[in-house]
Structure 1
Amino acid sequence: MTSTPDSPGTTPRKARAKRSRAESGGSRAEKKEQTRQALLDATIDLVDDRSFGSISLREVARGAGIVPTAFYRHFASMEDLGVTLVEDAMRVLRRALREARRDLSSRGMPTARDSLSTLLKKVHSDESQFRFLIRERHGGVAEVRRAIATELLLFSRELAIDLARVPTLTEWGAADLEVAADLVVSIMMTTVAELLDGDGREATERALVERAEKQLIMVFLGMAQWKPER
């Protein structure tokens, strides 16, 4: 028996695999969760080279192997699905940088090279989710855009809490710590965007990472000289 290639508009292989598992054994709750995940995976497939605002509920449902009306058993709207994608992608980003700063309090200032190396690995392994975050950060769907802004703010505050544990920063106030954390997060997000928009050559990637490393080092050096307001 020969297989035929996917024709335009058919379900992507990854989403079909999810659907197949959803249709196999398991409790009703498990099947519902599997179908919900299939909807998320189908959406990530669709937004790989398109904006979230350009895809339709019908396309997402078809990609997950369900009828459009069944979509509402899992998400209240396309905007709701988009916000869930943001939350999932931000969890990936948090894990990427948390690994590099896990022992921040004992080591002092974070190591720029280690942080960027960890981030680079995550970008390569979860490129679709990072591409979605970068594209929709200034995209046309307001709910998704606001969700990304909120998640990045929370991430900056989480980093600020870690920075407060650094011995040389114990006298810093919350406002100064959050400004420093915002700078670090902005550099990281800009680097991700440049990596995703790059030509894929190793030399180009290395140059982008080295530039980001210099930027982070400058931030860390500036933090060491900053006199916090009392």
Structure 2
Amino acid sequence: MSVRVKAQRKRRDGQATRERLVQATVEILSREGLGAVSTARVARDAGIVQSGFYAHFASLEDCVVEAAQHIGQRIHDTIREGLAHLREQGVGDFELVLAQYRRILDQLEAQWQFVELLLRYFREPTPLGHTLAAIQQSIRDELTHHLMALLKPLDIPDGGRPEAAYLADLMVNMLLSSVQSLRWEPALNRELVAYLLTVETISMAARTYDWMTEKGHWPDPTRDRG
């Protein structure tokens, strides 16, 4: 076997081990939270000796950050898929919105420890805090983009971005709070949570649209044209 082939195999094996370490961290974070993560536990779950951990990561925090990015991307993708489906099928259809909230709650509940991690650490000036803040921002941006598309026909100032971003904040906070409530109150009916989220979202969207279309709430965009 040539030196080049050996080097390629070593890189592949190293990458595979790194991925196992990240996946082990993802699973521990998702099931048990940050307090359960240690180099010994992650290495054991990944099938390597503890000393081998540092051949792939400079620190435990580096591994946790990468695992958080994986979980965050999964949640982001779920929300993106749901919003794309709504844009195609109709955002005012109660059953469609309800179905998407069920999907999103499924994903967030499966990652409830990560949600707790996000809410607890996203404001901290640490690599993990910055990563969690970026994840929350990416979800907010996705919702903002979706809402701006709905507001576009109104031709309001700045394309409605400030208003869309504010509505996105409300929706993100509702989702995260709902997951917390489902964890704090095990007897809480999950279907009721999805139903109330749908009612609130559709009602809020309809009332906001009505308010925005009322005369006098926005300056006439043609007023200053010569």
Interval containing the TM-score (normalised by the shorter chain): 0.7 to 0.9
Equivalent residue letter for 2:99: S
Equivalent residue letter for 1:148: L
Is residue 53 of structure 2 the alignment partner of residue 46 of structure 1? Answer: no
Equivalent residue letter for 1:165: A
Structure 1 residues 48 and 97 mapped into 2: Cα distance closer, same or farther (>3 Å)?
closer
1:132 to 73, 90, 113: 113
Tell me the alpha carbon deviations over residues 98-139 of structure 1, each in whole angstroms, 9 at most, x when there is no partner. 2222155566646565345234335546754x2232120233
Equivalent residue letter for 2:12: E
Task: Name the residue aligned to 2:142.
Answer: 158
For residues 58 and 65 of structure 1, the distance between their equivalents in structure 2, rounded to whole angstroms, comes to 11
For residues 80 and 218 of structure 1, the distance between their equivalents in structure 2, rounded to whole angstroms, comes to 43
Structure 1 residues 164 and 152 mapped into 2: Cα distance closer, same or farther (>3 Å)?
same
Structure 1 residues 29 and 46 mapped into 2: Cα distance closer, same or farther (>3 Å)?
same
Task: Name the residue aligned to 1:225.
Answer: 210
Task: Name the residue aligned to 2:3.
Answer: none
For residues 18 and 80 of structure 2, the distance between their equivalents in structure 1, rounded to whole angstroms, comes to 27
2:189 to 199, 204, 215: 204
For residues 42 and 87 of structure 1, the distance between their equivalents in structure 2, rounded to whole angstroms, comes to 14
Q: Where does structure 2 lack aligned partners over 5 or more consecutive residues?
A: 1-7, 220-226
For residues 42 and 51 of structure 2, the distance between their equivalents in structure 1, rounded to whole angstroms, comes to 11
Instruction: Give % identity.
Output: 21
* 1:1-230 equivalences in 2 (<5 Å): 27-102=9-84, 109=91, 111=93, 113-121=95-103, 123-124=105-106, 127-128=109-110, 130-139=111-120, 142-166=126-150, 167-171=152-156, 172-199=159-186, 204-227=189-212
For residues 68 and 30 of structure 1, the distance between their equivalents in structure 2, rounded to whole angstroms, comes to 20
For residues 30 and 89 of structure 2, the distance between their equivalents in structure 1, rounded to whole angstroms, comes to 38
Q: Where does structure 1 lack aligned partners over 5 or more consecutive residues?
A: 1-25
- The alignment's TM-score, normalised by the length of structure 2, stands at 0.72
The aligned length equals 202
Q: Which has the higher helix share?
A: 2
Structure 1 residues 103 and 48 mapped into 2: Cα distance closer, same or farther (>3 Å)?
closer
For residues 215 and 54 of structure 1, the distance between their equivalents in structure 2, rounded to whole angstroms, comes to 36
1:164 offset after TM fit, Å? 1.8
For residues 126 and 35 of structure 1, the distance between their equivalents in structure 2, rounded to whole angstroms, comes to 27
Tell me the alpha carbon deviations over residues 78-103 of structure 1, each in whole angstroms, 9 at most, x when there is no partner. 22222212211122112212222215
Highest CA radius of gyration, 1 or 2? 2
- The alignment's TM-score, normalised by the length of structure 1, stands at 0.71
